[in-house]
Structure 1
Amino acid sequence: MVTPLPREVLLFLLEGHRYALPMEDVRELVRAVRLTPLPRAPAVVEGLLNLRGELLPVLDMRRRFRLPARPLSSADHLVVARAGHRSVALRVDRAEGLLALEADQLDASPRELPGVGYVAGALKLPDGLVLLHDLRTFLSEAEALELEEALAKEGASQ
């Protein structure tokens, strides 16, 4: 099934590079707070966030994008979003804001390239390309299963 193209995206920064998520997947933005470790979770899971009583796995975007690790900072943002059937939080350096897309700004061809599993397309902006990510494919099947098992052991499953 092909995902419909987004009309609006959230732009965010990681290590000085811009990325985007479809707004349909984004629930809210929150400031980073101390995370609770989640033993036995996949390496891409940084920990758990207790957001008003809802326990959310925090995905380590730096690890996924092979960027250098850095300690959690109070200036970091957490993007609360849907990744398939699960709500997650993504730690990013900074959320830049919303961008309404024009029809000619999105090129979906990168999703056809090998090795770009969680890329849904590229945004052609005046100041360069920005990769649009598909959170439904962000975790591999094995990582999703490992996460479910870790959350169940902690009593924090969906």
Structure 2
Amino acid sequence: MEPAPREVLLFTLEGQRYGLPDEDVRELVRAARLTALPRAPSIVEGLLNLRGELLPVLDVRRRFRHPHRPLSPMDHFIVASAGARQVVLRVDRAEGLRVLAPGEWDATPRELPGVGFVAGAAKLPDGLVLVHDLRSFLSEAESLELDAALASPPETP
């Protein structure tokens, strides 16, 4: 039996398209200045103060092996759930939501060796899009290191 249709948020990074399940996406916001978070794992670019809520911004470029690029006002932030944790992904552009018909969804890629953080693939007319699972995006060690960094008092100069 084929899975029910699902909706995914498509986004681009370095000209490549990726996706996130819509149930993990909370909102899209414009790029804003980040605050450094000392002792955070290297996957964390910094903190975003979003209406009083401090959220870690994850460096998806690093995770997907793209070259580092400074923050640009043209970047988009995707506020999403990584399990119980709220996180922000900095991407080049959020393209929008796409409803996937059952025939466009393939869960097989998550079972392939070397394909981490993947929930499945969207088989679209213009190409394959890997849909990422943020629950596995941070390793257990990175998650613990981030918890410790968030709990640490700010460093004084």
- The TM-score range, normalised by the shorter chain, is over 0.9
- What is the distance in 2 between the residues matched to 1:58 and 1:139? 12
SS in 1 for 2:61: helix
| Distance verdict in 2 for CA 1:5–1:144, change over 3 Å | farther
Tell me the amino acid that sits aligned with residue 31 of structure 2: A
Q: Which residue of 2 aligns with 1:75?
A: 74
Larger Cα-atom Rg: 2
CA deviation after TM superposition for structure 1 residue 154, in Å: 4.1
| Distance verdict in 2 for CA 1:91–1:67, change over 3 Å | same
Q: Which residue of 2 aligns with 1:14?
A: 13
CA deviation after TM superposition for structure 1 residue 23, in Å: 0.3
- In percent, how many aligned pairs have the same letter? 75
SS in 2 for 1:136: helix
Tell me the amino acid that sits aligned with residue 41 of structure 1: A
CA deviation after TM superposition for structure 1 residue 145, in Å: 0.4
- Deviations along 1:61-80, whole A, 9 cap, x unmatched? 10000001101000100000
So what's the TM-score if we normalise by structure 1? 0.93
| Distance verdict in 2 for CA 1:133–1:124, change over 3 Å | same
The answer to whether residue 123 in structure 2 is matched with residue 124 in structure 1 is yes
Native 8 Å contact 2:5 2:101 kept in 1: no
- What is the distance in 1 between the residues matched to 2:75 and 2:4? 28
Q: Which runs of 4+ in 1 moved over 2 A?
A: none
Q: Which residue of 2 aligns with 1:45?
A: 44
Aligned-residue CA RMSD (Å): 1.3
Q: Which residue of 2 aligns with 1:31?
A: 30
Mapping of residues 91-102 of structure 1, within 5 Å: 91-102=90-101
- What is the distance in 2 between the residues matched to 1:13 and 1:23? 16
The answer to whether residue 133 in structure 2 is matched with residue 141 in structure 1 is no
